[in-house]
Amino acid sequence: MLLIIDNQSAFIKKFKRQFLSEQDFDYVFFDHNQPITLSAKTQIKGIILSGGKGNPYEPLNLTSNFVALMNFDVPVLGFCLGHEIIAVSYRGRIKKLPEYHSKKEIITITNQEDPIFEGLKKSEVSLVKRHSFHVSELPSSFDSLAISDTCSNEIIRHKSKPIYGFQSHPEVSGEDGMVMVKNFLKICNIL
């Protein structure tokens, strides 16, 4: 089963309607401020932390994100705010950008060999971005896999665990974005 934490993202709702509802695997949604209540028999195979408003330091209750990160030893994929939550929870730092970004942006992949990029035949992809913050200081346990004109840590991965963060929104960025999301689900042994 896939566990999804919704941090008030319109994009994750669209992803649920347009992609998840057509899939042949189980998933469960919890709001960011809702306790994670699962049966003892539930087998979580992967976690998605959605984007959303604010940042990990503001008074938005993000407890379920941190509970999911620290209590399940499974692959994790964070979009936008989820990416920032991952970085902060592993002692990275985020910083406010000079201006709000809301557009498609070219992302340059710097480590094409990672399994998250399997099937992509190019080193540049165009992904939707909508954010005010970015990971300014990468946690020491993470590597940067991609950069953009606005972010030096556009896509990150834990050095020894399949924990990924995307500053962008591949879940609503068309074919290239969905290739990476599906690769994550394959890493989880869900697809």
| Residues forming the active site | 80, 169, 171
Q: 105: closest CA among 170, 165, 52, 48? A: 170
Q: 113: closest CA among 75, 80, 76, 146? A: 146
Could you tell me where the DSSP H helices lie in 41-174?
63-71, 81-89
Contacts of 18 (CB under 8 A, 6+ apart): none
Contacts of 44 (CB under 8 A, 6+ apart): 1, 2, 3, 38, 72, 74
Could you tell me where the DSSP H helices lie in 74-159?
81-89
Residue 47, Cβ neighbours under 10 Å: how many? 23
CB 155 within 8 A of CB 143: no
CB 9 within 8 A of CB 30: no
